[in-house]
Amino acid sequence: MSDTLRFVSNELQLMALSFMAIVYIIRIRWLLKYKASRDRQAPSERRDTSSLKGIIYSWANIAMPWSMESTRRMFFFYLQFVVFHLAVAANITLSFVIPYAPGLMKPIIVVRMLQILFAAACAIGCYRMYRRLNNPAMRLISTPDDLFSLGLLTVWSFASIFAAPNRPDLGEGPLMVYFIMTAFFLVYVPFSKISHYLYYPFTRFYFGRTLGYRGVYPVKHVVQPKPTRT
């Protein structure tokens, strides 16, 4: 491994990561400086729920596609979301595994599974880009940041396919591209829509707290019975 690759896979990553952490701390402090409003009214007459249940339900919402009409109706879209986000998580993990625990990437099955996941994420990213540009409502709400962030993650997933085998002996190009992109990703994320995961715990916490207290959460979904044959 060349010194350059060692630098981009280690020091550069740590610098980018530190930068991201600092910006995130500032961002969270900024969010917390706003006062949270509270519910002064009596709790719901519904006895089977509470603020706490609402918060837990709200946080877990994302793992329960049956809980929202939107994810029930757009289940394929939800599956794309799951695969895409799993790939991003795997990709971030990969950026630590390669420099610090390369042994984990030895079994070929692990490499192949990751490559399949990254390829799937790349395909989903392409589809989602097409959707953003083709669907009038999506085109209208998409900002340059939305398009760039999606493009960045899609290209990053593509680069990961070639970085996953971790074979600098066959050429350092794929790993160089992958780590430089990862560093850029880490620096760019706090300023982009990708940082939504930072807000997710807050938005869902307050939404769940209120709706749990008021008895709306957990949502009771009553399935329409299918017409019986006569």
Partner 1 sequence: MIPNARSHKAGKVVERMGKKLSRQLVGSLVGCVHCGMCTESCHYVLANPDDPTYAPAYKADQIRKIFKRNYDWTGKIFPWWVHAEDLRTDEDLEKLKDIVFGKCTNCRRCSLNCPMGVDFALLNRMARGLLVSVGVMPEGVAVVSKDQWEVGNQMGVLPQEYIETLEWLSDELEDEFKDPAARIPIDKMDANIVYAINPREVKYDPRTISDAARIFYLAGENWTMPSEGWDMTNFGLFSGDDELGGAVALRVYDKVRELRGQTLVLSECGHGYRSTRCEGPNWSGKEVPFVIESSVLTMLRYIREGRIRVDRAKNKESYTFHDSCNNARSCGFFEEPRELLDLVVTDFREMYPNRAENYCCTGGGGAMSMSEYTPQRLKSAIIKADQLKATGTKSVVTSCHNCVDGLTDVIRHYKLGMKVTQLVNLTANALVIPERVFVPVEVLIPAVSLPLQGFKILVVDDEPDILIFLAAVLEDQGATVIQAADGEQALALTIQEKPDLVTLDLSMPGKNGGYVFEEIRNNPEIASTKVCIITGKPELRRLIYERPVAPPDGYLDKPVNEETLLTNIRMILELRQPVGHA
Q: Can you give the binding site for partner 1, defined by CB under 8 A?
A: 31-32, 34-42, 44-46, 49, 58, 61-62, 68-71, 73-74, 77, 81, 131, 135-146, 191-193, 196, 199-200, 202-204, 206-208, 210-211, 214-217, 219-222, 224
Query: Shortest Cβ distance from residue 22 to partner 1 (Å)?
Result: 14
Task: Give just the sign of the alpha carbon dihedral 104, 110, 112, 117.
Answer: negative
CA neighbor of 91 nearest in space, from 64, 114, 63: 114
Cα 177 from chain centroid?
Answer: 22
By C-beta, is 93 or 135 nearer to partner 1?
135
Q: Which two tokens stand for residue 197?
A: 């995961």
CA neighbor of 95 nearest in space, from 169, 186, 187: 186
By C-beta, is 54 or 168 nearer to partner 1?
54
Query: Shortest Cβ distance from residue 57 to partner 1 (Å)?
Result: 11
By C-beta, is 15 or 62 nearer to partner 1?
62
Half-sphere exposure of 230 (CA within 13 A, CB side): 1
Query: Shortest Cβ distance from residue 204 to partner 1 (Å)?
Result: 4
Alpha helices per DSSP H over 64-107: 69-73, 75-100
Query: Shortest Cβ distance from residue 157 to partner 1 (Å)?
Result: 17
Spell out where the chain has E strands. Answer: none
Q: Which two tokens stand for residue 26?
A: 């500032």
By C-beta, is 35 or 106 nearer to partner 1?
35
Burial label, 179 (beta-carbon count in 10 A; 0-12, 13-18, 19+)? buried
By C-beta, is 131 or 167 nearer to partner 1?
131
Q: Which two tokens stand for residue 220?
A: 């009771």
Query: Shortest Cβ distance from residue 87 to partner 1 (Å)?
Result: 16
Query: Shortest Cβ distance from residue 120 to partner 1 (Å)?
Result: 18
By C-beta, is 47 or 106 nearer to partner 1?
47
